[in-house]
Amino acid sequence: MSQAKPDLQNDLYLRALLRQPTERTPIWMMRQAGRYLPEYRKVRQQAGDFMALCQNPELACEVTLQPLRRFPLDAAILFSDILTIPDAMGLGLYFEAGEGPRFERPVRTLDAIEKLGVPDPEQELGYVMDAVRTIRRELGGKVPLIGFSGSPWTLATYMVEGGSTKNFSVIKKMLFAEPQALHLLLDKLAQSVTSYLNAQIAAGAQAVMIFDTWGGVLSPRDYREFSLAYMDKIVKGLTREADGRTVPVTLFTKNGGAWLPDMAATGCDALGVDWTTNLGDARAAVKGQVALQGNMDPSVLYAPPARIEAEVASILASYGQGTGHVMNLGHGIHPEVDPDHAAAFIEAVHKLSPAYHNE
């Protein structure tokens, strides 16, 4: 069994993503730094608003580290937002109370798309790189740091719709009526995401993840053309080694269970799986090509600890013996969750998972 290198006290997460043997199943939680923690709410209030928190490297570092002080997690994830790239493109990002993100200047014409530039990650997005460097320093090699971005398709939905949407009518109109305009936007976003993630890796991110939150609203044909093709382009353009280590890449399409084999074919190292797909079925579908991350329904964390443990037991049994599994929620932790229930989730994984790694 490979041993942790001296620069990293706990590399279970990185080993699992590369399907190397681990003593137990590693665990982290999407949105593990967030509103369910009272200490996060305090810092958020101190910052003034959400983007001010993201743009302050010291405060972004503080909230990134908060869940690690509370829980024995196996990875830290950069505290940021997927909409940093569109914001850097000059679309005027703001947050409406109770409504989520909004853009003052959505892009809905070929002319507007042609005028968009690809942001320089160390200039327009320098605050993110400063946060990565600060977090890596403060982590002191305790656990790996995950960098991330939204996928081109997911970023485009916000940029074209002007914010959150239920039916995606504006971007789907562009997709079917002006596909060349949408392809130009997605290509610029793929370039932007590639340089953004490579800059995060250069600044110290030890693994990266691409969140395709809205890929699941597309048909199988349109998913491959307008979402997966651009994630494939990004994967092929990423730096895959830094500090003498492989930098694993995880793709996550919410409601994308039917497309896992296609996603695995991109050459990524791991796939996120949400709770609408059985983890055993996902493992069979990818045929050992990639590791899998997931996939507990975040709502299970409302349940008593015994029910949470039963769910963990079910997911571990579904995946089965061997390596290549990172335990996580199937999407972000809900703001109303009791932190003690998150602790019960993590404790159950520590308790039950070693039995699946004793081959």
Position 6 scores a pLDDT of 52
**Domains: count for the chain:** 1
Q: How confident is the model at residue 256 (pLDDT cuts 50, 70, 90)?
A: very high
Q: How confident is the model at residue 234 (pLDDT cuts 50, 70, 90)?
A: very high
- Does residue 1 lie within any of the structural domains? no
338 is in an annotated binding site: no
Which residues does the annotation mark as catalytic? 31, 35, 44, 81, 158
Position 359 scores a pLDDT of 65
Position 201 scores a pLDDT of 98
- Does residue 350 lie within any of the structural domains? yes
Parent domain of 208:
12-357
Nearest C-alpha neighbor of 213 from the set 13, 30, 35, 17: 30
40 is in an annotated binding site: no
331 is in an annotated binding site: yes
- Does residue 187 lie within any of the structural domains? yes
- pLDDT of residue 1 exceeding 80, the answer is no
Mean pLDDT, residues 98-120: 94
81 is in an annotated binding site: yes
- pLDDT of residue 4 exceeding 60, the answer is no
CATH number assigned to the domain comprising residue 170: 3.20.20.210
CA distance 263 to 213: 14
Mean pLDDT, residues 19-26: 98
Q: What distances in angstroms separate CA 150 from CA 30, 78, 164, 250, 325, one per listed residue?
A: 13, 13, 14, 12, 22
105 is in an annotated binding site: no
64 is in an annotated binding site: no
Model confidence pLDDT, tens digit, residues 130-189: 999 999 999 999 999 999 999 999 999 999 999 999 999 999 999 999 999 999 999 999
Position 318 scores a pLDDT of 98
Mean pLDDT, residues 86-103: 89
34 is in an annotated binding site: yes
Nearest C-alpha neighbor of 238 from the set 197, 290, 187: 197
Q: What distances in angstroms separate CA 352 from CA 119, 314, 356, one per listed residue?
A: 45, 10, 8
Model confidence pLDDT, tens digit, residues 267-290: 999 999 999 999 999 999 999 999
**Which tokens belong to 136?**
């890596």
- Does residue 3 lie within any of the structural domains? no
- Does residue 23 lie within any of the structural domains? yes
- pLDDT of residue 98 exceeding 80, the answer is no
- Does residue 333 lie within any of the structural domains? yes
- Does residue 5 lie within any of the structural domains? no
Position 2 scores a pLDDT of 41
